[in-house]
Chains A and B, each alone.
Chain A
Amino acid sequence: MNMNRFTRVSHWLAALGLSALAGLAFASDHANHGGHDHHDHHGHHNHHTPLGMASVIPEGSLHQFNAPWQTHRGETLRLSDLVGQPVIVTMMYASCTTACPVLVEDVRRIHQGLSAEQRDSVTLLLVSFDTENDTVEVLNEYAHNFRATEAPWHFATGSAADVRTLAALLGIRYRKNPSGGYDHSNVIALLNADGEVIHRREGLNQPITEAVNSLR
């Protein structure tokens, strides 16, 4: 039984305020929250051959998601390439004038709160919901507006299916609205060097202490 995974899911559900109709009984073991031990949940199956990739990468690791993202500098970036590097990740879109600029600044604040050594090793990944309009060029201009053109900043676009996968992995809900924008939950997640979500916060302009401490 992989308690970490269930624990994480239960925390997400709690964070999302999901209600009684879930019909899913997740164990909620708070003592285990944030633990980094990785259980091999396949152990309870009887007919399995030894694991390949999945046994090397922790099972909750986003390094298992190898979708290619095109960054605002025209580079290709995959989460699976970021083994050994912490990542601060959020989702936004360029024509969003209300929440998204705050999300970008929140990412900047968390980054600036890190130690000098951590600031050099971390990747900042901001993936757009708007796969139709947020081209590499649009994202490049967006990065300029935020004076965030250089590494470790990565404003990124990808396929619509991959955007939805990433949102699902991060517990971000979104939907295109009738006026052509996107309604979305405001989430910033921190991945450790193993690609696991070690911190996740909803809302805008929150204190950064917890986020910064999670990477210590």
Chain B
Amino acid sequence: MSGWCKQWLWGGLLLAGTVTALAAESVVVPEGNFEHPVLLDRERRTEWVASFRVDARPVSREDYAAFVEAHPHWRRSAVAGLFHDGGYLRGWSSDVTPDGAPEAPVVQVSWYAARAYCEAQGGTLPSLVQWEYLVDLIRRLNGLSDDDYANAVFAWYGEQRPAAFEDRALGLSGFIGPVNEWLEDYQLLLANGDRVDFGGGSCGDTGRLILRYDSAHYATLLRYQMRSNHAPETTASNLGFRCVYP
């Protein structure tokens, strides 16, 4: 892919990030077949994914502020200690006043908090299969090469954080961007017959199970593993979420 094209893809969201967020819009995702890039089950290489709706962008700080306004037990001063690691909404200047740009993705939210938000919207966090299916779909529909995808993922772990690329096919934003996203079943459990959780889902074990040994699959493996290692109470400045709906 040419440098110009790459710039077009990855630069798109620099622009989108400055536009005031619209009310949370959702996008209908078409059904389709998902080829597992990391073989979580030896017997299951592909999986049919039913159509679902997904938030077009990650949940924003102002979205989340509205949620804690309506659900006081999820305010920073009231939230149960069991459900976060102590850093919940750490940067906010009050219980209901987000830091930074209101339209920026909300971060410093634990998995428990993210799930509570989605439940309040009548949705859930995406499943791992739903989210990875979307990444695959976006890559294909926008003609993103394996190398460009892999470079974007690896950049995430380096100094230069990429802007999330804008998806011009489905209208989704935020995937493989500066903010990672919680998933309902993000923790890996590897099974091989009766041998369950061998190696505890360590990187070496997962690495034996990637479908192909190319840069794109390695990049995906890195994302799976990194995501799996979060504890559910973790709050981090690069971890947000979006919701899906039936």
Contact = CB atoms under 8 A, between A and B. Distances in A.
B69 to A, nearest CB: 15
B25 interface: no
A177 B115 CA distance: 23
A62 B76 CA distance: 19
Nearest to A50: B77
B80 to A, nearest CB: 4
Interface in A96-120: 98-99
B80, B226, B232: residue with the most chain A Cβ atoms closer than 10 Å: B80
A8 B197 CA distance: 20
B77 A51 contact: yes
Interface string B67-79: 0000000001111
B204 A5 contact: no
A116 to B, nearest CB: 32
B95 to A, nearest CB: 7
B171 interface: no
Given A20-B203, A98-B194, A161-B115, A183 B81 contact: no
Nearest to A17: B200
Contact of A186 (B44, B187, B196): B196
A21 B189 contact: no
A168 B228 CA distance: 12
Interface string B86-122: 1000100111000000000000000110010001000
A183 B41 CA distance: 10
A62 B41 CA distance: 32
A173 B77 contact: no
Interface residues of A, number: 52
A184 B195 CA distance: 10
A13 interface: yes
A5 B110 CA distance: 14
8 contacts: A22-B229, A24-B229, A48-B77, A51-B77, A52-B78, A59-B81, A173-B189, A183-B197
Nearest to A187: B197
Contact of A165 (B93, B112, B188, B200): B112
Contacts of B115: 161, 165
A164 B82 contact: no
Nearest to A66: B80
Contacts of A57: 80
B26 interface: no
Nearest to B197: A185
**Chief secondary structure at chain B's binding surface:** loop
A20 B157 CA distance: 14
B184 interface: yes
B40 A24 contact: no
A184 B199 contact: no
Interface residues of B, number: 49
A61 to B, nearest CB: 7
B203 A54 contact: no
A138 interface: no
Contact of A174 (B189, B204, B230, B233): B189
Contact of A18 (B81, B83, B200): B200
A25 B46 CA distance: 35
B31 interface: no
B82 A161 contact: no
A180 interface: no
A54 B94 contact: no
Nearest to B128: A175
A5 B80 CA distance: 13
Contacts of A168: 111-112, 187, 232
B78 A51 contact: yes
A18 B232 CA distance: 14
